[in-house]
Amino acid sequence: MTGPGERKEDTGVRTSIATVSLSGPLTEKLTAASWAGFDGVEIFENDLLASPLAPRRFGPAAPTSA
């Protein structure tokens, strides 16, 4: 298992998880996803709306496929 900032072996496969799959406040969900080694998260709208943090605190949006 890797923690934040630790390097994983590059297999060319990126992993992600949706925040709706995790319990707790958004900041705890993001911390848990990071500690679990996910490369990214899909933030569920209700998590973002319920969070006291501004959306720009979570970083720029990743490009989406058309």
C-alpha closest to that of 37 among 61, 13, 59, 53: 13
Q: Which residue has the higher pLDDT, 58 or 28?
A: 28
Token pair 């500690």 in the structure block, residue? 35
Which tens digits make up the pLDDT trace of 6-18? 666 777 889 999 9
Asked if pLDDT for residue 1 goes beyond 60, the answer is no
**For 54, phi and psi rounded to 5 degrees?**
-70, 145
Give the predicted TM-score (pTM) of the model.
Answer: 0.69
